């Protein structure tokens, strides 16, 4: 009988030691609450990181926009400064031309007028050379389509092939850039 009692009691003890369905549910809830808390922490950390990246992107975009505006202003200022410098160097030539025009009203000064115009022409060439503008060589030179614009062609055995025989309009070059091509007549 004692054995039977012991056996009967054993399942009851096992039942008492075993978790009830409510306790099992609570353990599961606690585990899922912990997982949820961990996931929420991870989500908060990622959200904070995304906010930092968005803030950095917005600052970078604003800095780039400011850079574009600043360089555009500097470009305009640089252009204005260059134009002012060039015009300032040409103004003395204009002054001399005005003096020549005033002198042309006086018929007695006809000889000195030509001399004055020659001086103004020389002064103008000096100003052009000082700012780096050079004439493109023409008559007697070999034709170069990068520098010359052939508007006429003539057959003449006195000249070599592709030689410029006449220049209708002078061309000018600044450093390696052609400002205006020479208009020329080319032989053969």
Per-residue model confidence as pLDDT tens digits over 61-100: 999 999 999 999 999 989 888 877 887 788 888 777 877 7
Burial 37-74 (b: 16+ CB within 10 A, else e): eeeeeeeeeeeeeeeeeeeeeeeeeeeeeeeeeeeeee
Q: Which CATH number fits domain 134-188: 3.90.25.10, 1.10.10.10, 2.30.22.10, 2.70.150.10?
A: 2.30.22.10
Write down the pLDDT at residue 70: 96
Write down the pLDDT at residue 73: 93
Per-residue model confidence as pLDDT tens digits over 33-48: 889 999 999 999 999 9
Q: Which CATH number fits domain 37-131: 3.90.20.20, 1.10.10.10, 3.40.50.10420, 3.40.30.10?
A: 3.90.20.20
Domain ranges of the chain: 37-131, 134-188
Query: CA–CA separation, 181 vs 171, rounded Å?
Result: 5
Query: CA–CA separation, 65 vs 163, rounded Å?
Result: 54
Write down the pLDDT at residue 49: 96
116-to-95, 106, 107, 127 alpha-carbon distances in Å: 12, 14, 14, 16
Give the predicted TM-score (pTM) of the model. Answer: 0.54
């Amino acid at each position: 009988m004692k054995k039977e009692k012991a056996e009967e009691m054993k399942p009851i003890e096992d039942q008492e030691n075993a978790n009830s369905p409510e306790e099992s549910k609570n353990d599961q809830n606690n585990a899922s609450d912990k997982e949820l808390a961990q996931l929420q922490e991870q989500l908060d950390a990622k959200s904070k990181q995304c906010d930092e990246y968005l803030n950095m992107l917005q600052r970078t975009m604003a800095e780039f926009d400011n850079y574009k505006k600043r360089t555009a202003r500097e470009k305009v200022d640089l252009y204005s400064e260059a134009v002012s410098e060039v015009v300032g160097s040409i103004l003395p030539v204009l002054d001399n031309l005005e003096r020549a025009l005033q002198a042309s009203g006086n018929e007695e000064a006809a000889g000195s007028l030509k001399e004055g115009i020659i001086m103004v022409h020389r002064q103008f060439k000096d100003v052009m050379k000082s700012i780096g503008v050079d004439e493109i060589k023409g008559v007697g030179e070999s034709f170069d389509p990068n520098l010359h614009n052939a508007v006429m062609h003539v057959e003449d055995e006195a000249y070599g092939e592709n030689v410029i025989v006449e220049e209708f309009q002078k061309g000018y070059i600044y450093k390696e850039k052609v400002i205006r091509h020479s208009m020329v007549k080319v032989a053969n």
